[in-house]
Structure 1
Amino acid sequence: MIEEHLEMAHRHVAEGQRLIAGQKERITELDRDGHDTAEARKLLLSFEDVQREHIAHQARIEQELASLG
């Protein structure tokens, strides 16, 4: 069961990395085309906040698994 949670945590972290990279690309494109990037940057900050939570959750699961090991 813990291994399944760890797999899910790994998927969430990977998805977060993908979303963050995509949002950074959008910001670059918006900026290049002269558009306001304020809202896109706010969304990026939200993605980064959630990503920190995913990484912390993953670490807790890894610690729990190691303590059983």
Structure 2
Amino acid sequence: MEISMQLRHLAEAERHIASGIEHISKQELCIADLDYRGQDSTLARSLLRTFCFLQAEHIAHRDRILRELGQ
């Protein structure tokens, strides 16, 4: 794959990671609010686990691109 394409993919992966940080943070606040109000946070916690899984995937993808660029 040409370097310019890899750099575009890297930029996209970085955007996904930044977005994931925001989603995770907002979801943690939502869970805290639900818990504070004594409401069920089961679904919110499930969504947070999904966000965390996706974040790990985005980070792994970024790291693969960085390794490829380093070769």
TM-score, with structure 1 as normaliser: 0.95
The correspondence for 2:43, drawn from 28, 39, 59, is: 39
1:60 matched residue in structure 2: 64
Structure 1 runs, 4 residues or longer, greater than 4 Å off: none
- Inter-partner Cα distance in structure 2 for 1:17 and 1:10: 11
Instruction: State, as a whole percentage, how many aligned pairs show the same letter.
Output: 45
Structure 1 stretches of 5 or more lacking a match? none
The correspondence for 2:55, drawn from 51, 57, 69, is: 51
CA RMSD of aligned residues (A): 0.5
1:28 matched residue in structure 2: 32
Structure 2 stretches of 5 or more lacking a match? none
CA displacement at 1:22 relative to structure 2: 0.4
TM-score, with structure 2 as normaliser: 0.92
Alignment coverage as a number of residue pairs = 67
